[in-house]
A and B are shown apart, each in its own frame.
Chain A
Amino acid sequence: MKFFLLVFSLIFSAFSIAETWFIKPSSNSQEEIQEALILAEPGDIIQLAEGFYKLKHGLSLDVDDVSIVGAGHEKTILNFKDQISSAQGLLVTSNRVVLKDFAIEDAKGDAVKSKGSDEISFINLRTEWTNGPDSTNGAYGIYPVESKRVLIDGCIAIGASDAGIYVGQSEQIIVRNTLAKFNVAGIEIENSYYADVYDNIATQNTGGILVFDLPNLPKQGGKFVRVFNNRSFDNNTPNFAPEGNIVGEVPSGTGLVVMANSNVEVFENSFSNNSTIHIAVVSGDLESGDENYYPHPKSIQIHNNSYSNVGYSPDVDRGNLSKLLVEIAEGEMPDVIWDGVLPLSQAILGQPQDEKLILKENESIKFLNLDALWYFLFSYFHSPNRDKTDFSGDIKALPAVEEW
């Protein structure tokens, strides 16, 4: 009999109606929120009322089809200043999750992370370290990794000691209408496929937007990234990342860096007041020891961007790129650089046309090919190579990321 009751209740639980959990700030918010995040059923909404939530432990969600919704990113504030456990403010490991209208402040590690999520939306969130840029701040603000169908829309990311928006090892990504400021990297797309980054503002970071590919990771070969209609300006905050990290090598005053990716299209953005460089297209780690890693940027197209005021105070303290740039530029700082590093065979025989950097910009923009390989080999004879002719060609527009 008990068995039949069990079956009966199982059948009926499958038809339960979506519920909304209402939570208000209280001395018991920690347990209330976490309990809701665990006991929620698919379809449920967890509604966080306006107010300041002081949390001591990181939160986590592992139920599919759940939304966590606040009253606005200046009204519902989850503050982790006194956090004593977990490496992030909020961790999501389930699918079809919407996070909307709240703020995560002062997390000890990353502010909000999704791992292995399919369809994860970060909408109108704010992630912030409230003491301003500081090396003791957490690494990432909004951090989807190994995720698929990622939407970051209308968010604000402030003060991350690595990247404000960091999408890693993910696929099908849209980042739009987002403001990233006072981070080391404003927006970073790393080891990811199919990303559209548009209508964002990256300002007062060390580097505005980074499109990177790194070796020795389960997912690499970053490709098909479109960066358009963004504004990247005044990214002159001194680099405050810990040194071992890859972003620790980004010189302050950088608008955009494309490193080791293929098929990247950068267009209709505006770059201004970046004190080192607006756009740098560079190779990654040439000695990674990873056979599957292709360290050179490939099929990069840059067109119809606007540029003003660059290179007026280059940062030569971090990384080697800026030092080299200043040495080679001989006082005439460019808007766009390519490091000119190719695999040996291509350095000798030439680069296939469809892999070349294409630059289709107003005649007045200043370009510099660092020609780094030859510079190191024959620096005495090296003169700055500002010739753009080798980089002309037709733009082959990349496909838009399909919304889901």
Chain B
Amino acid sequence: MVKQIIVFFILLNSVNLWSVNLEAILSSKPEKKLSDYQLFEDLTNQLPSDGVHPYILHSALFSDYADKERFVYVPEGVKAKFKPNEVYEFPVGAVLVKTFSYSETTSMGKKLLETRLLLNQENGWKAHTYVWNEEQTDAFLKVAGYTYENIEFLKNGELMQVSYRVPNQNQCKECHLKNNAIMPIGPKSRNLNFSIQYKDEEENQISFWIENGLVENHMPLDLIVNWTDQSATLNHRARAYLDINCGHCHLSSGSASNTGLYLNYTETNDMNIGIFKKPVAAGRASADLKYSIVPGKPQESILLHRMNSLDPGVMMPESGRALLHSEGVELINDWIENLQ
């Protein structure tokens, strides 16, 4: 009942005060168009409305080399709670927005692909995906997923081609599921504790979040290693990569709990990380190899073999990727080679 009253007051507060459409955020039925949420002043250019702020994660998941712009919205008067080592506990009405695009395509320059919303409702987070129209003026709800056939884009000047797959609603859950409920993955204190460019100035994200009432006051935690950071140790980089790309499913409370292979950053048991671990239900994906990781022998390690595949019955992650991530494969290859 208390919750209902809170929701009521949030709603009451929101009526015409801000441009963000809180009613849409809390509605049990998702809106048909992204614009209906009024999260952006200028949708096409991804300029957020008042109260909606950009954020950047220090270490991010590979998504077929797409660029990702992220935004957070927290209703006025309520704040996210700090949880050490975990994602902030956001209040009802909070929204996390992630827009995927290729900055340079051969057909049209920048191409917006999809915008994913995580809406925190009274009975938990909801995940919805909106696919952009050809004119790039708005994005439309797609529950069953969508495929962009053969997009050509430039990755650091190199021409690449991808059949980009927008996940369906259940696939969102596969990664975002924790103990049977949808949870955000990225916005942890560890992943945000660095400066980014805001409209007016450059500022540390956590200071900004605290000043603007997005999160309660807390001592920020040490920044997680960015797997691309050449100055970090190979082990830290590899574990950071596995954490953000694999660790949300390969977790004792995640979608791949049954495998016994756990790749979250804090896992310390060698067998759980895959060292000399026999495959359980990998089937042909094990490719006649005997262990997930054989220290010193990347070519004999199932984990690397599955990262290095595009066959849907073999590849890992199971969804969210249609291309090889050659930089990631190289990193894990080097890591396994140097394991003793």
Scoring A residues 83 to 96 as 1 if CB is less than 8 Å from chain B, else 0, what string do you get? 11111000101000
- Contact A84 to B312, CB < 8 A, known contacts A138-B284, A161-B284: yes
A243 touches B288 (CB 8 A): yes
Query: Does A139 contact B281, Cβ atoms closer than 8 Å?
Result: yes
Q: A86-B312, A86-B319, A146-B258 are in contact. Are A137 and B165 (CB under 8 A)?
A: no
- The number of residue pairs between A and B whose CB atoms lie closer than 8 Å in the complex comes to 142
Q: Please report the C-alpha to C-alpha distance between residue A182 and residue B280 in the assembled complex, in whole angstroms.
A: 21
Q: B170–A139 contact, CB under 8 A?
A: no
- Asked whether, in the complex, the Cβ of B283 is within 8 Å of the Cβ of A245, the reply is yes
Are the C-beta atoms of A169 and B258 separated by less than 8 Å?
Answer: yes
In the assembled complex, which residues on chain A have CB atoms less than 8 Å from the CB atom of B51? none
Contact status of A61 and B180, CB under 8 A, knowing A2-B23, A83-B312, A244-B302: no
B143 within 8 A of A: yes
A1-42 interface code vs B (CB 8 A; 1 in, 0 out):
011001001100100000000000000001110110111000
Residues of B within 8 A of A219 (CB): 258
Question: Knowing A242-B283, A243-B290 touch, does A289 contact B271 (C-beta < 8 A)?
Answer: yes
Tell me if B282 and A116 are in contact (CB < 8 A): no
A residues within 8 A CB of B285?
Answer: 109, 139
Contact among B170, B288, B290, B312 for A61, CB-based, below 8 A: B170
A168 at the interface (CB under 8 A from B): yes
* Contact surface of B with A, Cβ cutoff 8 Å: 8, 11-12, 15, 23, 26-28, 143-145, 163, 165, 168-171, 173-174, 177, 180, 252, 255, 257-258, 260, 271-272, 277-291, 302, 311-313, 318-319, 322
Q: Assess the B145–A57 pair: CB atoms within 8 A.
A: yes
Kindly supply a per-residue 1/0 record for chain A positions 230-255, scoring 1 wherever the CB is within 8 Å of any chain B CB and 0 otherwise. 00000000000111111000000000
Enumerate chain B residues within 8 angstroms of A169, measured Cβ to Cβ: 258
Enumerate chain A interface residues (CB-CB to B < 8 A). Answer: 2-3, 6, 9-10, 13, 30-32, 34-35, 37-39, 57-58, 60-62, 83-87, 91, 93, 107-110, 115-116, 135-140, 143, 145-146, 161-162, 166, 168-169, 214, 216-219, 241-246, 285, 289-290
CB-CB nearest in chain A for B259: A217
In Å, the complex CA distance between A9 and B27 comes to 10
Bound complex: CA of A401 vs CA of B311, how far in Å? 39
Contact B312 A162 (CB under 8 A): no
Q: Are B312 and A161 in contact (CB under 8 A)?
A: no
20 further A-B pairs in the complex, CB-CB below 8 A; given A3-B12, A86-B318, A241-B283: A6-B23, A6-B26, A34-B168, A35-B143, A38-B143, A85-B312, A93-B173, A108-B311, A115-B258, A138-B284, A138-B313, A140-B281, A162-B283, A218-B252, A242-B283, A242-B284, A243-B290, A244-B290, A244-B302, A245-B279
